Amino acid sequence: MNWAHDIQAACGGMLIGLSAALFLLLDGRVAGISGILGGLLGPRNRATAGNAAFIAGLLLAGPLYRVFTGRWPAVHIAASWPVLVLAGLLVGFGTRLGSGCTSGHGVCGLARLSRRSAAAVATFMITAFITVFVTRHLIGGGS
């Protein structure tokens, strides 16, 4: 068992929860990353300092990790660029279809006991289970 990894994961989870709670308390909105990013990039331009700071925090997390630990976070992606691009487009489509992403529905919506978020998270998870099964066992992708 890798206790250091477990501690890092627990700290990361607590920071996600803390950031979601602070965003709700200070900005009055759910911390859904797709909605926040859409607010910065969308045609209605709902850019706020809070949105910009939230996205900056996401982008600066890796470099800050390096500053404090002396190394980059270990990230291993065993997929080609075309697969990653297709996956990103499908995730973007899914967040629009589901009116939110896993952070908005899974972290914030479930914490608020939202039925709509519970249905969305169930749909995300079932889709993920099916995708992993199909790619690993039926078409032989992944490890």
pLDDT band at 45 (very low <50, low <70, confident <90, very high): low
- Split at pLDDT 50, 70, 90, the class of 142 is low
pLDDT at 56 > cutoff 80: yes
Q: Residues 119, 100: contact at Cβ < 8 Å? A: no
Query: pLDDT category, 44, cuts 50, 70, 90?
Result: low
Asked whether the predicted pLDDT for residue 26 surpasses 70, the reply is yes
Note the pLDDT of residue 35: 80
pTM over 0.75? The answer is: no
Residue 67: its pLDDT value, please?
Answer: 96
Instruction: Give the three-state DSSP class for 56.
Output: helix
118, pLDDT greater than 80: yes
- What confidence score (pLDDT) does residue 72 get? 92
| Calpha distance 98→117 (Å, rounded) | 9
- The pLDDT of residue 129 is 92
- The percent of the chain in helix, strand and coil, each rounded to the nearest 5, is 75, 0, 25
Q: What is the mean pLDDT of the chain?
A: 84
8 A C-beta contact, residue 50 and residue 43: no
Q: Which two tokens stand for residue 72?
A: 């980059």
CA 36 – CA 52 distance, rounded (Å): 8
In this predicted structure, what is the pLDDT of residue 71?
93
123 token code pair? 């749909």
